[in-house]
Structure formats: C-alpha cells, structure tokens
Amino acid sequence: MALLSYSNTAFEEKQKILREKGIQIEKEDLLNSKNIHIYQFANETDGKSSVQELQFEKVPCTGYDFSQFNDSTMNLFEEARIVMGIDDENERTYNQRKQSAAFRTVI
C-alpha cells in the first residue's frame, strides 16, 4: 500500500492494472498520512535495544530499506543450507538466491 500511495502514477491507472489482476482497490484504501513512521529495533552488545526510524526512500528503489530483516533472513538461509547439507554443486543456485534477496531488501 505504501508503494501505491506514494508513487507518482495516477491512481486511476494503478486501479485499472490491479483490477485486471483481480485486485479491487479504492482511493480510500491508500495511505495518505505523512504521519506514518516505520522503526527498526536492534539489540546492542550491552543488552539494551536501540530504535532507528526508517525513512521512506524513492531512490534507488521506492520503499523502506529493511536491511536488518534481510540480513537475518540470509543468516537463517545460510544455517538451513548447512543443516540440509547443500553442497558446492548447489552453490550457484544459493548465490543467485542470495543476490536476488539483496535486491529485494528495499520494500
């Protein structure tokens, strides 16, 4: 919804494309408040948590950069790869997924 709400494309154009895909959306469904804030929490080495507000970006990609989430996901993927015994033969596929996930960091 954030991507639709903040894009420069006319709403009617977006609505038409979505309807063709079976998605019904009305103008009232869009986010129009500038008071929406997204936060990322991190555990510090001293046991405390820090809070960082994420900014909505339009360049190079539109959305929020959830790099901490992406890093955690990739760590879980790496652990699963080790547990499942994925060998070097599958390394190319693994690297392609890892690279692809890096491009999806911005949501």
The ranges of the chain with pLDDT < 50 are 106-107
Global pTM?
0.43
Phi-psi region of 85 (alpha: psi -120 to 50; beta: other; left: phi over 0): left
Mean pLDDT value across the chain: 77
pLDDT score at 107: 46
Helix (H, G, I), strand (E, B) or coil at 56: coil
Sequence letter at residue 13:
E
Q: Mind listing the pLDDT tens digit for each residue in 49-70?
A: 999 888 877 777 777 777 788 8
The percentage of the chain sitting over the pLDDT mark of 90, rounded to a whole number, equals 9
pLDDT score at 22: 92
d(CA 46, CA 11): 48
